């Protein structure tokens, strides 16, 4: 019986360590740098929407600016969730307008459909 209790404690310790590692990994992923995130998203959009080089460059610039602003807002307003939420919403609203202005309505509809299905 004593052996079984020690075994259960050992399993619990391993479970706690594993959980902490998962939390740390997710936190590290969330802090991924804006350049990498913009590149990844631009590549995805390029494949999904068959973007030409000019469109690809514009999308990259728009996404990079977005991720840089988001990171800045999250750092600047981390203690003020209401302001942070409002500022982030503003960034996302402007993002759609910038992308639509550069890609057009048709490609934006294709992108929305792609996001819904993937």
Q: What is the pLDDT of residues 28-41, one digit of tens each?
A: 555 579 999 999 99
Lowest mean pLDDT among 25-39, 57-71, 101-115: 25-39
Domain shared by 9 and 57, yes or no: no
Domain shared by 19 and 65, yes or no: no
Quick one: angle between helices 81-103 and 53-76, nearest 10? 170
Rounded mean pLDDT, 92-102: 94
Residue range of the domain that includes 1: 1-31
Domain shared by 21 and 56, yes or no: no
Rounded mean pLDDT, 91-117: 95
Domain shared by 20 and 43, yes or no: no
Q: How confident is the model at residue 25 (pLDDT cuts 50, 70, 90)?
A: low
Domain shared by 85 and 103, yes or no: yes
pTM above 0.85, yes or no: no
pLDDT of 11 reads: 67
């Amino acid at each position: 019986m004593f052996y079984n209790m020690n075994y259960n404690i050992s399993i619990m310790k391993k479970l706690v360590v594993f959980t902490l590692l998962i939390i740390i990994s997710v936190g590290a992923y969330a802090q991924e740098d804006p350049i990498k995130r913009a590149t990844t998203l631009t590549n995805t959009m390029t494949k999904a929407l068959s973007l030409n080089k000019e469109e690809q460059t514009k999308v990259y610039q728009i996404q990079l600016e977005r991720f840089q602003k988001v990171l800045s807002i999250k750092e600047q307003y981390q203690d003020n969730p209401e302001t942070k939420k409002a500022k982030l919403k503003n960034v996302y609203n402007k993002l759609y307008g910038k992308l639509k202005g550069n890609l057009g309505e048709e490609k934006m509809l294709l992108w929305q459909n792609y996001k819904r299905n993937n």
